[in-house]
Amino acid sequence: MTVNIPRHVAIIMDGNGRWAQQRGEERIFGHASAIESVREAVKGAIEHGVEYLTLYVFSTENSGRPKEEVEGLMELFCKCANSELEELVKQGVRVKGIGSRSNLSMTVLESLKDIETKTYGGDKLTLILALNYSSRWEITEAVKKIVGSGIESREITVERISEALSTSACPDPDLIIRTGGEQRLSNFLLWQAAYSELYFTDILWPDFDRNEFSKAIDHYAGRERRFGLVKQ
């Protein structure tokens, strides 16, 4: 096992639609096939001793996709929350959702609440699901929260802003992985990613398995993280 292990790994799971289209299938087929890759990432994280795994499940911008695809994604999420629950509990995984819940359906909200509640005791891995999430939304909400608390401007610090974010209970991601060949963060954890190591791969998400996860971890192990400082 790699010695230099990231505490927190975040993944932009890209390429589901292209993967399906390459096989002559509808885009939703790619999203359904990607569930196995989520299982592989969770198992890989636990095997390597990663403490936090954040998955970019659905961005606020994704809501602009065709209605059939969005509805299919939400239905798929609910099915997965139910079918994967027992195994997640067995693995010691605690699930936490982040993102705007204001325009999610009651069915999705209930599924999310159910899996959060029933996995609360997990102590092997915290699985953070970024659902209906965008970093700009998160930072905007943090600013509103800070302003609403009535503090003076001089009291606003980096630490106070971090504490107001939805990820305040976990460390910033050490490693951000993006599959599918694109090399951008796409409005994902922008504040938290200030000093994250970035790993881009052409592998489409449905083909991302534990071996690919291990490659990313090994790549991270070879990085020298200085956080803007000079090595002594």
- The confidence score (pLDDT) of residue 231 equals 60
Has residue 135 been placed in a domain?
yes
The CATH number covering residue 201 comes to: 3.40.1180.10
62 has catalytic annotation: yes
- The confidence score (pLDDT) of residue 226 equals 65
Has residue 3 been placed in a domain?
no
What are the pLDDT tens digits along the chain (232 aa)?
Answer: 446 999 999 999 999 999 999 999 998 899 999 999 999 999 999 999 999 999 999 888 877 777 888 888 899 999 999 999 999 999 999 999 999 998 889 999 999 999 999 999 999 999 999 999 999 999 999 999 999 998 898 999 999 999 999 999 999 999 999 999 999 999 999 999 999 999 999 999 999 999 999 999 999 998 876 666 556 5
Has residue 169 been placed in a domain?
yes
Domain that holds residue 47: 8-221
Alpha helices (H) along the chain: 16-22, 27-33, 35-48, 67-83, 85-91, 106-118, 135-148, 158-164, 210-221
Catalytic residue among 62, 187, 207, 209: 62
- The confidence score (pLDDT) of residue 148 equals 94
- The confidence score (pLDDT) of residue 1 equals 46
Catalytic residue among 4, 14, 16, 103: 14
Entry field: residues in the chain: 232
| pTM of the full structure | 0.92
Tell me the Ramachandran region of residue 154: left when phi exceeds 0, alpha when psi lies from -120 to 50, beta otherwise: alpha
Going by C-beta distance under 8 Å and a sequence separation of 6 or more, which residues neighbour residue 147? none
State the Cα angle at 224 between 221 and 229, rounded to 5°. Answer: 150
Residue type at 226 in one-letter notation: R
Domains: count for the chain: 1
- The confidence score (pLDDT) of residue 2 equals 46
Task: Give the integer Cα–Cα distance in Å for 214 and 216.
Answer: 5
207 has catalytic annotation: no
